[in-house]
A and B are shown apart, each in its own frame.
Chain A
Amino acid sequence: MNNLFEDFNDIEMLAEDLQSTDAGERIMAVIELTDTADPEVIPHLATAIRDQDINVRKQAAIALTDFDGVSTAAALVGALSDEHAEVRQAAAVSLTELKDPDAGDAIIPSLGVDDEFVLVSCLAGIKELRRADAMGPAIEALKHHSASVRCEAVNVIGWLQDKTSLPALRSAAGDNDALVRRAALTALGFNKSDHAEQILVAALTDSDWQVREAAAETLTKSGSAGCVPSLIKLLEDEYWQVRLKAVRTLGKLDARDAATLIGEQMTVPVPNLRKECAAALGVLAVSDTAKFLEPYYDDNDPDVRKNVRWALEKIAHTA
């Protein structure tokens, strides 16, 4: 009991230092209040985040990273409109550290604002809280003129993993900004429906290589045998990064028809791609693909060597 009173007195004494006329003392009060790790200090930090001195406000915004809950979120959301960019930025970072779903109560109302920075920060903050009531505002935010906002909105929708979001993700997959399209394709990973797969397969011919790569990567998680022909075509993509994801997904889908084409990729002077091809060839274990692997038994890259030797053993074992 004694300890409780002592802690309370400590906090109150430190809180009094927040009234000091010296900004340095107020900063130290913020630091020491934070060090208590006691949620009782949140209201004091919420006051400090509105201090007249920019360094005190910034320190309070940073300090709130260590706390959670609705009061913390409310103080941080308020600081997103601070006149000073450093404070706004610190508050935005702290918002993404929140873990308590209840903290979303203070964020949801701000998902309706038009300000780009506030909206991006609030969407980023609510994402991992996985609040079902964020779905509506996130879908609405997909109409925002800013691609950054649309991107964060897609991320929120993706984290919710709700099948009813498919129309919204389909529309985001056709966005004119490549980053938004990529985010939408990644978000489709949880959805194993034919409709989701159609969207991903269509994106394999996107004009942006990173979008093609994201689509191929997501198909590793959710693709079915139906997407194999489109993935085989992707083995001719000009970007090895895209081919690498196609190889991985073809291996995962047990696409034995693709084994020879995967084997032909072994000549590419990119160790990461050779490593992936060797792994896929080992998984597929098609006997006449050993000839693609043998020249790389002593590859300079240890990871390639390891996968090649494993794949050859696998093929020999299967034969």
Chain B
Amino acid sequence: MPLAQSSTSVPVVVNDDLCIADKGCTVCVEVCPLDVLRITDMADGRKTAHMEYDECWYCMPCEADCPTGAVKVNLPYLLK
């Protein structure tokens, strides 16, 4: 799987301000059937989820199950 080049150019973007990975949340990582999401340390020492591999089925549980609404899956135009 191709590694994601930047966390904002991939289909799944996480709002770091809303993400509570810092408190122990790993819901999106656990529900992703492709295992492409990871929890990572940010520069300020907090944790956040991000898309590690630029691969996606657009199946949506990461967005639907995130308890804070931090995950946004950007559906390609043809899938909308």
Contacts and interface: CB of A to CB of B under 8 A. Distances in A.
Contact of B25 (A22, A28, A58): A28
B76 interface: no
B22 to A, nearest CB: 7
Contacts, number: 25
Interface in A17-38: 22, 24-25, 27-28, 30-31
The main secondary structure of chain B at its interface with chain A is: loop
A146 interface: no
A224 to B, nearest CB: 47
A28 B23 CA distance: 7
Interface residues of B, number: 9
B22 A31 contact: no
Contacts of A59: 67
A24 B27 CA distance: 13
A215 B54 CA distance: 50
Nearest to A32: B24
Residue of A22, A28, A58 with highest tally of chain B CB at under 10 A: A28
A28 B22 CA distance: 10
A55 B68 contact: yes
Nearest to A59: B67
B68 A28 contact: no
B69 A28 contact: no
Nearest to A17: B23
Contacts of A58: 67
A55 B23 CA distance: 14
A59 B25 CA distance: 13
Nearest to A56: B67
B69 A24 contact: no
Given A27-B20, A55-B69, 16 more contacts: A22-B23, A24-B20, A24-B22, A24-B23, A24-B25, A25-B23, A27-B23, A27-B25, A27-B67, A27-B68, A28-B23, A28-B25, A31-B25, A31-B67, A55-B67, A59-B67
Interface of B: 20, 22-25, 27, 67-69
25 contacts: A22-B23, A24-B20, A24-B22, A24-B23, A24-B25, A24-B68, A25-B23, A27-B20, A27-B23, A27-B25, A27-B67, A27-B68, A28-B20, A28-B23, A28-B24, A28-B25, A30-B67, A31-B25, A31-B27, A31-B67, A55-B67, A55-B68, A55-B69, A58-B67, A59-B67
